[in-house]
Amino acid sequence: MIERRKPLKRPTPVRKRRLKLRRGEPTPEEKENARIICYSRAKGMCQMPFSHTCPGYVPLNGDEWHRGQLAHLKAKRRFGWHEDESTGQRHLWSCPESHRLQHQFGWSGVKPCPKK
Ligand SMILES: [Zn+2]
């Protein structure tokens, strides 16, 4: 055991946010543009009605839990951010609740583990 009089301390605090974009990740401006394109294509209507409380129309702006979200058709980690060249579409417009459920349950919309 090393005897220490003081606890080890970092010279700098832990950073809460990354400083640089991930490889292939668009800038915040590019993401906002993609959102606007997606919103106008969907005319603001949620394109994945998984939620029973889905409001249908979700606004472009507003508070975080009520505005629409840009939902990836394919996992962005595997396929990247950019629009699909063949279909021209990689995102769906979604309300926060439907988006959350899609991530939880996948595209089938059913729970992976059935209730007991
Ligand atoms: Zn929805």
CA distance 7 to 11: 12
φ/ψ of residue 42, rounded to 5: -85, -5
CA 52 to ligand 1 center in whole angstroms: 8
Radius of gyration of the chain (CA): 20
Give the tens place of pLDDT for each residue, 15-34. Answer: 888 889 988 888 999 999 99
CA 99 to ligand 1 center in whole angstroms: 7
Give the tens place of pLDDT for each residue, 77-99. Answer: 666 666 655 556 788 999 999 99
Q: Report if pTM > 0.85.
A: no
Domains in the chain: boundaries: 28-105
Residues within 5 Å of ion ligand 1 by Cβ? 46, 54, 95, 98
Which residues have C-beta within 8 Å of that of residue 98, sequence separation ≥ 6?
Answer: 46, 48, 49, 50, 51, 54, 71
